[in-house]
Chains A and B, each alone.
Chain A
Amino acid sequence: MKNSSDKKYSIEISQKEAEEIRNAIKAASLKVMDEYIERMKKSWPNRPEAMQYFYDIAKFFGTREREIQEAKEEGKKVIGYTCMLAPIELILAADAIPVRVSSGFYDPVKLGNRIVPVEVCPVVRSTIGVEMIGLSPYLKLSDALITPLTCDGMTKLSEILSDSKPVWTLYPPRLKDSEQSMFFWREELRTLKAKIEKLTRTKITAKKLKAAIEIMHKATRAFRRLQEIRKDAPVIMGRDAMLVNQTSMWDDIKRWTEKTEELCNELERRIREKVWACPPDTPRVMIAGSPAIWPDNWKLPNLVEEASPQGVIVADELCSGDRFLFDPVGVDEWTMDDMFKAVAERYLLPSTCPCFTSEDGNKDRVNWLTARIEERRVDGVIYHVFRGCMLYAMEYMRIKRVLDKINVPVYYLDTDYTREDVGQIKTRVEAFLEMLKSRVEF
């Protein structure tokens, strides 16, 4: 622990105050999670048994927290990451536990405001607040953090978090498709690998890396299978699929894979038997833009699937969702060099984050969006942007132009980590769904 005088940003608050706030927010969050899960169950009454596992893991404080705690006591290391550009295979290959730590809690934002201005993106402000009071078990249990410097917010967040934990930055080149970029990125990951090895005192050998890649291949297969299922008439509500996707970020990935396969077995049976989760003519919505992170920031998914007229989320383009495990590491030969190269490519090239650009203006993101819209038969896109999330906000026009051309309506929804705007957003979401519905009927 550093002295407060050594700190770059004073993120200290008295232990007593931290404890009081933590207990209050934790109690409120437990209620919110229970309430949201109940609401999800209510809008999908005939859900399969296999879903229960994910509701349990979603409860954040509890089973999984204890598991990680115990693993740590046995000497395992926990490596947190703030963004999906962090290479999970390298963490697994060092026998460490990967957990994503970017926060979806609303209330800690107020604490974050003590350090950064309110104009800063709420994910960053909330993550700062969560760290100040030790709210998130996963952030608290992390021995070190991987912080990709994707946007300005994430860059400074990395500095702020470094006051309390070892932080390993990763600097992604914003132009992906050049040999120098790839070379640079591989070197970044090589440095990271050495840091992981040092912390875990585990050498990442070819055998270990291969095993880690294979674990993630299986996870990707299960993940893709679930998304594939969402192409059809809805047999799973979007919120539930999003929750399954998101639990992969703190659950044991092997167990998560098994449970997801179980869920998919059941869902595929339902496709054959035509047991729909909601009427097949329900407008099919995609959410694009800033991440929707469990638990508090389930605002938009809740609104879409509880609105009148109702919508169903059949796809998202969020780094907290459909994009997370979408791409497998493509290995040619199982040599250390080749595997390492493949891991580096997997995390840079397919990323559709708006922090990237190219001569044709982040074409990868456009292609990803249009491909998903087509395969999942999306009726309309809600473009979700946090206040202060400049990159997604600025790229909106680019995306709107493309979607206008293929005649897919898109609505720009501006929000923050607050509950106060639910009424306003509801008006907008319902108007959008009404519009989709009237188009579907024509």
Chain B
Amino acid sequence: MIVAGLDMGVQNVKVVLLKDGEILSHGMVPSGFEPEKAVEQAFQEALKKAGIACSDIKYVAATGVGVELAPRVDCKISVVSADAKAAVYMYPSARTVIDVGAEESRVIKCDEKGVVLDFALNERCAAGAGAFLEAMARALEVKLEDMGKLSLKAKGTTSISATCVIFGESDVVSLIHKQEPKHEIARAIYDALAERIVSMVHRVGLKPDVVLVGGVAKDIGFAAALKRKLETEILIPKNPEYAGALGAALYAMENLGGSRK
């Protein structure tokens, strides 16, 4: 039995195909202005990798902030529940899930079955999410993909406040003017974002094991900062940006009465 999970993210549309509870393939396409087209392309990508036809998919569950725009889906699930399901599927010991996406970040506490017990989301502010890093990399004039590596060289001699993206940017500019080394500023940027995530974690309560997912989980600079601030080990899956889509796919499977073989 093949089912699909679709995650309509702010920046990317992601698809995960599951066969009898095992991941078949992934697909990811920038959301853009035509969500229907992006969904179509993401599906095509995943289908091609799996070598199957669209008609082989029995059931589709969707999640993500743009879920209302998702065409032809069988059911919907919230990003919070999807993340919890995905985390426990990947790591049965997961009890706290941190998802940092482009414009939204979440912290979820769950039980061994992946049932959500409590959660918090960054409240209406992009300073707690990936968009913050993008803006800061721009201000620092480095590529976002290079900023993480750069930050690892730093000792932590300076800091910025991440109360808001705009103010964060002016903090960075004034550090540049003070001739603070770039790698130190990079680390300060990650620390600021991690600080915000950590305060959400503490609102919900930290319970190991901690799993980090979402696109920003791939950023080694952020992962290092979060680990420093949380003072705990963090599990990061291989494809963290697909957590929402995977959770949706698992939900699709449950809805059809299936389970992992």
Contact = CB atoms under 8 A, between A and B. Distances in A.
Question: Do A and B share a complex?
Answer: yes
Contacts of B123: 414
Interface of B: 65, 68, 76-81, 115-121, 123-124, 203
B116 A434 contact: yes
Given A414-B124, A421-B124, A427-B65, A308 B76 contact: yes
Contacts of B81: 431, 434-435, 438
Contact of B78 (A423, A424, A431): A431
B76 A431 contact: no
Interface in A207-253: none
Contacts of A153: none
A430 interface: yes
A423 B65 contact: yes
A107 B116 CA distance: 37
16 contacts: A308-B76, A409-B117, A423-B68, A427-B65, A430-B78, A431-B79, A431-B80, A431-B81, A431-B116, A434-B77, A434-B78, A434-B80, A434-B116, A435-B117, A438-B115, A438-B116
Given A423-B65, A435-B80, A442 B118 contact: no
Contacts of A428: 121
Contacts of A438: 81, 115-116
A439 interface: yes
Contact of A439 (B65, B115, B124): B115
Interface string A392-436: 000000000000000001011010000001011001101110110
B65 A442 contact: no
Contact of A435 (B65, B119, B120): B119
Contact of A427 (B78, B116, B117): B78
Nearest to A435: B116
A351 B78 CA distance: 37
Contacts of A439: 115
B193 to A, nearest CB: 19
Interface of A: 308, 409, 411-412, 414, 421, 423-424, 427-428, 430-432, 434-435, 438-439, 442
A400 to B, nearest CB: 8
B202 to A, nearest CB: 10
Nearest to A308: B76
Contacts of B117: 409, 435
A112 to B, nearest CB: 20
Contacts of A421: 124
Contacts of A430: 78
Given A431-B78, A431-B116, 16 more contacts: A308-B76, A411-B119, A412-B120, A414-B124, A421-B124, A424-B65, A427-B65, A427-B78, A427-B79, A428-B121, A431-B79, A435-B80, A435-B115, A435-B117, A438-B115, A442-B115
Contacts of B203: 412
Contacts of A409: 117-118
Contacts of A412: 120, 203
B113 to A, nearest CB: 9
Contacts of A411: 119
Contacts of A423: 65, 68
Given A414-B124, A424-B124, A431 B119 contact: yes
Contacts of B116: 431, 434-435, 438
Nearest to A438: B115
A66 to B, nearest CB: 40
